[in-house]
Amino acid sequence: MKNIVAIILAAGRGTRMKSELPKVLHRVNSKPLLGFVIDALEGAGIKKKILVVGYRGKDVRKQFPGIAAVAQTKLLGSGDAVKKASALLSKFKGNILIIYGDIPFIDKDAIKKLIKEHKKNKSSCTLLAATVKKSSGYGRIFRNETSDVVKIIEEKDASFHEKAIDEINVGCYCFNKKDLFDCLDRLKINAKKGEYYLTDIVEMLTKKGKKVTSVVCEDPTVALGVNSRLDLAEVGNIMKEKVLEKLMSKGVTIVDPNSTFIDTSADIGKDTIIYPHTVIEKDVSIGKKCKIGPFARIRVHTKLDNNVEIGNFVELVRTKVLSGTKIKHLTYLGDTEVGKNVNIGAGTITANYDGKKKHKTVIGDGVFIGVGAILISPVKVGRGAVVGAGSVVTKRKNVPPHKTVVGVPAKLLGRK
């Protein structure tokens, strides 16, 4: 998208989070709040972006290294944050989109619509609005008798009646550059909070007779801002529901959505059944007709082929499992490749970490691992081999194909 630059406000500490981590780096699923906002901007095709960072700004920059950043050293409010970014835009010609870094449900379509309407109406400012059930904490949108936006009233300054307004300011606006910059220079500090409110600019514009329009979100969850741990949990729950609904609509059975946690990045095939109390983390892919859980934890970079069965108290991380394999009880496999039609007995563990480094375990097609086996990596179990119950296969003592090993340490059966 041309002639538009986005200023992303991410300098605030997030005092209400009571955290040492900057608020925008708190995660929902595996993604920081700010990541959702940046993805939405990218989805809307906005190339030029300026990130305003402040509290622990280095940490924020580090996570989003590709984006130009400017520092707000004193956290003097959203108006001041925009001022800091405006210093980089003296030569820029076009519209300025301002967005807050703590609204993770904002989506590309809402942003696109906002810009489209802004251009169509030739407004000075177009703001994103939503009608919500709980408006407390948000800036309320005050309209006149003809429903035109007059001003935004912040919670702290709202009267009893104004607090009853259920239309709120989402925290995403499109401004005509000149009108915005004129107002930024004249913005006064809010005495009650000791901050420069960006939202005061709306009234400054309407008083000058400038055009302020709005786009109202159809889905009010788009407006949800995260200010506290409670908000974070609420957003997490809604996001979780959305992820599960999407998977179910694609043909995945989720027996108990309440107790199932699946990361937004997960890819799961048709007719797979996820049993209760299962956790599926980042970058996991699961094929068709698998059975997962109950009480399974599938961790990062794990890939399961079709017809795989993962049962209770099984943890898999950075592990690949081919079709027809069963890992049904009390097992940990880390950095492991498991072939086709393998049976992993209850209580099997791959010891992938030697205290310094992680190593790989490779288990061939058709292998049978007896209960309670320990495989110390790096190690390979050849195709069709058998590892006896309770055996400890020590590192680099690869098991030859179609042979049986038993004991501690494991030795070929029949040899002393």
CB-based closest residue to Ca ion:
225
Indicate if 301 belongs to the active site.
no
Smaller CB separation from ligand UD1, 102 or 309: 102
Name residues whose C-beta falls within 8 Å of residue 339's C-beta, 6 or more positions apart in sequence: 322, 325, 363, 364, 365, 366, 367, 383
Contact window for ligand UD1 (CB under 6 A) among 58-66, 194-202, 310-318, 341-349: 194-202
Contact between 138 and ligand UD1 (CB under 6 A)? Answer: yes
Residue number, 139 or 334, with CB nearest to ligand UD1: 139
Q: List interacting residues with Ca ion (CB under 5 A).
A: 102, 225, 227
Binding residues among 252-311 for ligand UD1 as defined by CB under 6 A: none
Q: Of residues 118, 329, 359, 402, which has the active-site annotation? A: 329
Q: E strands along 41-156, which residues?
A: 48-53, 68-71, 95-100, 125-131, 140-143, 149-153
Closest CB to Ca ion among residues 16, 177: 16
- Please classify residue 141 by burial: count the beta carbons closer than 10 Å to its beta carbon, then call 0-12 exposed, 13-18 middle and 19+ buried: buried
Judged by CB under 6 A, the residue of 6, 7, 76, 98 near ligand UD1 is 76
* Three-class SS state of 188: coil
Residue 72 interacts with ligand UD1 (CB under 6 A): yes or no: yes
Binding letters toward ligand UD1, positions 164-193, x by CB under 6 A = ----xxxx----------------------
Residues 6 or more apart in contact with residue 160 via CB below 8 angstroms: none
CA gap 208, 203 in Å, rounded: 8
Which listed range, 71-79, 118-126, 275-283, 357-365, lies at the site for ligand UD1 (CB under 6 A)?
A: 71-79
User: DSSP letter string over 272-329?
Assistant: -EE-SS-EE-SS-EE-TT-EE-SSEEE-TT-EE-TT-EEEEEEEEES-EE-TT-EEEE
Q: Which of 126, 199, 307, 377 is the binder for ligand UD1 (CB under 6 A)?
A: 199
Beta-strand pair 212-216/125-131: parallel
Report yes or no: 345 and 373 within 8 Å, Cβ to Cβ: yes
Q: Among residues 381, 282, 294, 385, which one has the least CA distance to residue 336?
A: 381
The residue among 129 and 405 lying less far from ligand UD1, judged by its C-beta, is 129
Residue 213-232 contact track with ligand UD1, rule CB under 6 A, x = bound: ------------x-x-----
In the complex, the smallest distance separating the C-beta of residue 104 from ligand UD1, rounded to whole angstroms, is 11
- Pick between residue 76 and residue 321 the one whose CB is nearest to ligand UD1: 76
Q: How many CA atoms lie within 13 A of 286 on its CB side?
A: 34
Q: Which is nearer to ligand UD1, 236 or 384 (CB)?
A: 236
The verdict on 78 binding ligand UD1 (CB under 6 A) reads yes
Give the binding-site size for ligand UD1 (rule: CB under 6 A): 31
Binding segment for ligand UD1 (CB under 6 A), chosen from 6-14, 278-286, 385-393, 406-414, is 6-14
Q: For residue 330, which phi and psi values (nearest 5 degrees)?
A: 45, 55
Q: Considering only residues 332 through 361, tell me which ones interact with ligand UD1, judged by CB under 6 A.
A: none
Looking at the DSSP assignment, which residues form a beta bridge with residue 207? none
Based on C-alpha coordinates, what's the Rg of the chain? 28
Q: Which of 103, 205, 268, 280 binds ligand UD1 (CB under 6 A)?
A: 103
- Which CB sits closer to ligand UD1, 10 or 317? 10
Half-sphere exposure of 86 (CA within 13 A, CB side): 21
- Can you tell me the distance from the alpha carbon of 131 to that of 370, in angstroms, rounded to the nearest whole number? 60
Q: How far apart are CA 23 and CA 232, in angstroms?
A: 10
The residues annotated as belonging to the active site are 329
Binding site for ligand UD1 (CB under 6 A): 9-12, 24, 52, 54, 72, 75-78, 80-81, 100-103, 138-139, 152, 154, 168-171, 197-199, 225, 227
